A and B are shown apart, each in its own frame.
Chain A
Amino acid sequence: MTPMRLFAASAAALLLVLMLGRAQGQQQTSGVFAPDQIRVGQAEYLENCAGCHGNTLAGANDSPALAGAGFMQNWGNRSTKALYQFISTSMPVGNEGSLSADAYADITAFLLSANGATPGSQVLTGNTDVRIASVANGQVPADVQKGLQTTPARAAPRAQSRHGLTVAGTVANYTPVTDAILTHPADGDWLMYRRNYQGWSYSPLTQIDARNVGSLQLKWSWAMNEGGASEVTPIIHDGVMFLSNTSNTVQALDAKTGELIWENRIGPDATVAYSGTRSLALYQDKVYVATTDAKLYALDAKTGKTVWHVEIAPPPKGETGGVIVIHGKVLVGMMGCDNYSTVNCHISAYDAGTGKQDWVFYTTARQGTPGGDTWNNLPDTQRAGTDTWIAGTYDPDLNTTYWGVAQAKPWMRASRKTYGASVLYSNATLALDPDTGKLKWYYQHIQGESLDLDEVFERVLIDHGAEKSLMTIGKDGVLWKLDRTNGKFLGEKETLFQNVFSKIDPKTGQVTYRPDIVGQKTNEWIGSCPGPEGGHDWQATSYDQPNDLLIIPLSQSCVLMRGQDVDMKLGGGGTSASQLFYFMPGTHRNMGKLVAYNTKDMTEAWSFQQRAPFLSAVVSTGGGVAFIGDFDRVFKAVDVKSGKILWQTRLGNTVQGYPVSFSVDGKQYIAVTTGLGGGSPEQKPTTLLPEVHRATTGQQLYVFALPD
């Protein structure tokens, strides 16, 4: 035996001893994979899978747990061959089937090992066919529980590892953004997430109208960071565009020409599961960025240099919703609250000048606080979810900010053991005093939500004479109207087919779940139309104020959802449910729907359906034209009054993000991004629309205008 072979044999034997030691006391059949496959498979897992499923294999968002009780419930009675086939045909998401057969086999072996299986002398291949529960018991090894060391997403270019101010420059003629400017923005600016405090996504610009929109031309384009999930809103002030890329990179560009002025690569680099921020915000001389690792940065708007930064919450929390600035305070939500933790999700406010924390409002009602008795007596460490992943809106007259709160975690009440409890403040609208964080009122749209149907999305503030309303729509597709002075229910409308609620009380809005949803058990499939794609998702509405129309992107798909038992300990929990997707009945396989409602009486003005779902928000304009883009790369303009398609063009990849309109030197522009990554809105059409073929890269900004 050569020294090298002797070394290899010794190393393999040592690894085998270590693995056997790890599994001491366990009673499974051993030997369907080789020891070395664990090491190689772990490396492949970290490279290709950990970005979504996590470095403890606990899963997050739409990515299920791959170790422990949940994995065994899903896969215990299925075969290693089925697991290999599933992984090799559907992973990694967005680049399915791209690894070698050996790599998929090694990952399969690693997953078995991470669930207590012990190695043997044979090498696992795609043809190895044994029942998983006969070799694995769900006992997660200590090193996996502790967390494997993660690596950046494979799609992220190496250059992104350089952080800090990577391009120096200075914005000329920058005007500080005051409270008055935020309240009454210039027509050509887009200063915050939905353009105005009321969340309208309406630009008053009129140059592009129904008669001339057909002659729109591409004026400039800009390649954005790859990797991660890009769902961004370009921000424009005084002819400068502030653009957030994935990997927490912020750029200032000349909005007329696309010339880069400065760039700050804050980091950390994107991994697959990380979304980029949905929106930056401007105030005075600073740009505010809430990063995916739950930090808040203030950059000098003229130079891009970091002025201050603070931690919103410790890892592994995150933030993607963006921020809103009110009275010199930067308000920011939080996400990443899937797993059981000592830190509950909250909304917090920071002094815009210094970063000093002003207040915190916990969106998870904790023990001993108002609403704290709505979690079936669970300890605070087992109260997960209630993320706020969409920035709030604000009524200056009422001095009230409005936020939507997401569902509790795990998704299904049987998994999280809250059963009939309402679990405040999940799926509620919150009305907060922006100066103190004090709760003025709340309205919970769904008590004890149980199917990953968030009501977290934009709160749109609309006035009809003396009526001051708030309208919002969630994944269930129910459009809600509340009195925003007191939270009183004013009305609801089901915008598409739903089978989740057997009744919605017309006086109170109280929903009654279908009986099998109330009586759900873990490890049982429950049907849900719509499913977690929505209905309505983060692709935001536009309120076209002159026509009093709320234009709403909708998606039409259903799921079967099966909740899992979870480990009720720190780090446990997670979303913890499997999903299977199917078309919504009666839709003729049209996943996309765009609908406009008259907001005064909540009657439908127009609608149309199409095969591909819409993956961008809507922006409407003073010219009577609204813009939206879809999963199949089509960006289109529709007549606000009729819904008639006036113009469309094909872009490089899925039109994903928040289109905006702005003007420079008297010329109106439309800016829109293409993007990849994300959860349900990407996953469902990827499965149900096999004819749509997308490139694995293509995060890009496009800027259109009329001919010069």
Chain B
Amino acid sequence: MMPRTCAALLMMTFLVAPSTAMAQQFQGDLDPAPHDFSNRDDVVGIGIVSATLSGTTLTITGNFTGLSSPATAAHLKTGLAMGVPGATIGELTATHAAKGEISGSIKLNSAQITALRKGALYIQLDSVKGKDGNSWAWLESDERPRV
């Protein structure tokens, strides 16, 4: 029995380790989302975000620049797939300026972790002129080759 128990423990260690001990890295470009020609000159600016999933906590850092109006808020959101916008699942902190930083830590449930791993989580940065979303950044795993 002893060897079997050891083998089982060893296997459990390998299975559990990736989701608990080893942090996973994600990143994404913060792209402007002007949506139509009428606001293409108002909804501008770029940035980059990074995220680390450690256990069930997702820690997000990022920066942005070139907005035409001050940032007002940042949110973590989830869609049905990468590139499909959806609902807010947590609030982040953003510098209230045209250039600044994004940060925050949010505890995810298992469905949200699954969504993160399939690329369906994204950051939305709002601004005065882009109040419903100046920019979007979908979080992609560092392990997945980019398009």
Contacts and interface: CB of A to CB of B under 8 A. Distances in A.
Interface of A: 85-86, 89-90, 93, 96, 496-497, 499, 502, 514-516, 525, 527, 529, 556, 558, 560, 580-589, 683, 686-688, 690
28 contacts: A496-B147, A497-B147, A499-B81, A499-B82, A499-B83, A514-B80, A525-B85, A527-B79, A527-B80, A527-B81, A527-B83, A527-B84, A529-B82, A580-B35, A581-B34, A582-B31, A582-B33, A582-B35, A583-B31, A583-B32, A586-B28, A586-B82, A589-B29, A589-B31, A687-B35, A688-B34, A690-B34, A690-B44
Nearest to B41: A690
Nearest to A96: B37
Nearest to B85: A527
A25 B36 CA distance: 37
A584 B82 CA distance: 9
Interface in B7-57: 28-29, 31-41, 44, 46
Given A514-B80, A583-B31, A556 B37 contact: no
A529 B83 contact: yes
Contacts of A587: 147
B138 A586 contact: yes
Chain B interface, DSSP helix/strand/loop, else mixed: loop
A690 B136 contact: no
Contacts of B35: 560, 580-582, 687
B33 A687 contact: no
Nearest to B133: A582
Contact of B136 (A496, A581, A582): A582
B146 to A, nearest CB: 5
Contacts of B85: 525, 527, 560
Nearest to B84: A527
A199 B122 CA distance: 42
Contacts of B122: 585
Contact of B46 (A560, A585, A589, A683): A589
Given A688-B40, A690-B40, A558 B83 contact: yes
Contacts of B29: 586, 588-589
B65 to A, nearest CB: 14
Interface residues of B, number: 29
A584 B83 contact: yes
Question: Which 8 residue pairs are nearest across A and B when measured between Cβ atoms?
Answer: A527-B84, A90-B37, A580-B35, A529-B83, A585-B138, A586-B147, A583-B31, A90-B38
Contact of A556 (B40, B46, B138, B147): B147
A581 B136 CA distance: 12
A85 B83 contact: no
Please indicate which of the listed interface residues B29, B36, B85, B140 has the most CB atoms of chain A within 10 Å of its own CB: B36
Given A580-B36, A688-B34, A688-B40, 8 more contacts: A85-B38, A497-B82, A515-B80, A527-B81, A582-B33, A583-B31, A584-B83, A687-B35
Contacts of A687: 34-37, 40
Nearest to A589: B31
A583 B33 contact: yes
B119 interface: yes
B36 A585 contact: no
A493 to B, nearest CB: 14
Nearest to B81: A499
Interface in B93-118: none
A53 to B, nearest CB: 15
A690 to B, nearest CB: 5
Nearest to A686: B37
Nearest to A690: B40
Contacts of A686: 37
A696 B137 CA distance: 33
B77 to A, nearest CB: 12
Please indicate which of the listed interface residues A499, A556, A585, A587 has the most CB atoms of chain B within 10 Å of its own CB: A585
A497 B36 contact: no
A584 B37 contact: no
Nearest to B146: A586
B3 to A, nearest CB: 42
B92 to A, nearest CB: 19
B125 to A, nearest CB: 13
A666 B36 CA distance: 49
A85 B129 CA distance: 14
Please indicate which of the listed interface residues B41, B44, B146 has the most CB atoms of chain A within 10 Å of its own CB: B146
A90 B80 CA distance: 31
A585 B119 contact: yes
B40 A497 contact: no
Nearest to A683: B37
Interface in B44-90: 44, 46, 79-85
A136 B13 CA distance: 66
Please indicate which of the listed interface residues A89, A514, A581, A586 has the most CB atoms of chain B within 10 Å of its own CB: A586
Nearest to A530: B83
Interface string B124-147: 000000000000101010000011
A89 B119 contact: no
A502 to B, nearest CB: 8
B40 to A, nearest CB: 5
Contact of B81 (A89, A514, A583, A683): A514
A311 B122 CA distance: 53
A688 B32 CA distance: 8
Please indicate which of the listed interface residues B32, B40, B83 has the most CB atoms of chain A within 10 Å of its own CB: B83
Nearest to B83: A529
B63 to A, nearest CB: 16
A529 B80 CA distance: 12
Contacts of B119: 585
B83 A90 contact: no
Contact of B83 (A89, A580, A585): A585
Contacts of A558: 83
Nearest to B145: A586
Please indicate which of the listed interface residues B35, B41, B46, B136 has the most CB atoms of chain A within 10 Å of its own CB: B35
Nearest to A581: B35
Nearest to B35: A580
A690 B29 CA distance: 18
Contacts of B31: 582-583, 589
B135 to A, nearest CB: 10
A558 B37 CA distance: 15
A497 B81 contact: no
A453 to B, nearest CB: 14
Nearest to B136: A582
A692 B99 CA distance: 23
B129 to A, nearest CB: 12
Contacts of B40: 687-688, 690
A690 B106 CA distance: 35
Contacts of A584: 83, 147
B147 A499 contact: no
Nearest to B44: A690
A85 B32 CA distance: 20
Contacts of A499: 81-84
